[in-house]
Structure 1
Amino acid sequence: MGHNAHRLSLEWSRIEPAPGEFSRSALAHYRRVLTTLASVGLTGFVTLHHFTLPRWFAARGGWLAPDAVELFVRYCNRVVAELGDLMPFVCTINEPQMIALHGYLEGYHPPGMTNPILWKRVGRVLLEAHHATVRAVRDEGARSRVGLAVQLPLLEPARDDDSCVAFCRALRTEIVDLYLDGLTGPDRGDFLGVQYYRRQWVDPAVPTLFAEPPAGAQLTQMGWEVHPDGLRQQLHRAAAAGLPLYVTENGIATEDDHERVDYLETHLAALAQARSEGVDVRGYLHWSAFDNFEWAEGYRPKFGLIAVDHDHDLRRTPKPSAHAFARVATTGRLDALRHGIAVQA
């Protein structure tokens, strides 16, 4: 499909199914996967933690356990020792702010808490875990480039009154600024992964803290507002961290492949504009290659460039958008996206 990079995650619970017990078969499995990636010319972007936790770690209190960072680093040390030669890029933690927000304030991801104090505490623990993991990777002597992958929604106040504006600013501090401004010192990493999907309207008067998008806004299957220029704006904000940027996630949940091609075109154009304005963006990884299991939503949202048929042995069929994206990947030209395209909804 013309890609030269592939992002994947390692499952901590497979590798360390019990405390201090590391599975040779799981590590061998991932070694085969990463070896295959390299053999076909794909650069691996390997995420060490993508939302899920081993049950034993969760039972200890998860990220609130007093030794949470120490235990996570022990797992990372073993992974790097076994697989570091096959991981050109390492993402330490995927979307730490969403782990904190969804799991400890909104409560719709595990552990299902709605506690503002714990929300803020977990965010800082995850940032500490990132720094500790950067040190661990380097101490193992791996040549991997290491970075944090953050989701950066464009947050706007739903109303132009003082309380709403102030609350939006406070929420932006915890969801965006904490992580970008916290990437300081020798262990901040080598790059920053930027993940962008939507604009969100902040409203302290709404129980969920986020108002519905304005009437008439284009929405995805997830109910997210499509706002391409938000990617350009958030790339500029991320650039303030002073690290090279890679877009490690960006995509749309839709059954309509016309929409997916439109989304690709407008968001890649926003990325190109950011680059032309001086932002150091070095790569783009689309979310996602395949229709995936979307955490609290299951298989309903269709994010993939490639369809997966769960009724027929997981048969995989590239969508027209996959071929469109491949033309951009192989030529480096956005105008190649629609060349000869005939998209079926």
Structure 2
Amino acid sequence: MNLQDTPSLSETSFETAPGTPGEPFNEPAPDGYPLGGFTWRHTRHDPTRPVVIINAATSVRCRHYSRFADYLFANGFDIITFDYRGIGKSRPASLKTLNATWSDWGALDFEAMLRRAHREFPGQPIDVVGHSFGGCAAGLADSGRLIRRLLTVGAQFAYWRDYAPAQRWRMFGKWHVVMPLVTKLCGYFPGKRLGWLEDTPAGVVRDWSTPTARYEKRPSGRQMFAKGGRLPFANVTANILAISISDDPYGTVAAIERLLGYFSGSTTTHLRIEPNDIGEAEVGHFAFFRSRYQATLWPIALSWLQTGELAPDTPGRRVPRS
């Protein structure tokens, strides 16, 4: 595999220019690590107004979700976006010495955002939008009981047998062979240099690339499970809508359902959308949050966050739960 090969535009194209900028903040995680993020806050406090925390995908900066945050803000929500430790505004001077894992991103970094939302927006309902691993991170925080509604998009934790068959071996070679080898050589994954997402801490790469079907068998998942004898997913009692797109090679039905199975305390709905349901030829894994889908995909998220229900004319189909 040529290390200079990059994914197709539709696979990892990001909107990095923000719309209306949020107010920057710094928030310490429970272990003291400084996290950077942005807040969109209405002037008048309203205890009935929900605040939405947006959890990014692995190694994607929170600024990718700025226009989506603008959209939710314009429709009456307060918003928090943030970068996980090692990424974007939460990156230290050197990634080689940063001990950060997927479980840290959920149990420490997302936990900090839940506490911030609870403190900064007292009495307001807390909803969460989780993209890709961001949906998994939502189940790793001890304060998950605070979540009222959870909307996930392409959410899974990268089990290679769940990848779309036509792309499975290419993706396995890229993410489970090349990525850990390069990380071992460099001390972190130099994703920006290769055009493969952001630079990524080695511990996150170990979690991502370990080819096991259970999160508690991933390196940091094993530590979390051994420490508490359980994973915190059951803390979440939120109503969950999981959206998947049929041409997303990561977010196959099997992958989405594998993650949903961990949320044993929640009522879950899996909505499967074909690109042609919204008049598109392709959408893929990353494009949902691009502004070109403001008129087609974003209203689905907005309506569900507002009501907790799918409108009768929502495109796509509900996946029966096994």
Return the index of the structure with the highest Cα Rg: 1
- TM-score, normalized by length of structure 1? 0.36
Give the structure, 1 or 2, with the largest relative contact order (CA under 8 Å, sep 6 or more).
Answer: 2
- TM-score, normalized by length of structure 2? 0.38
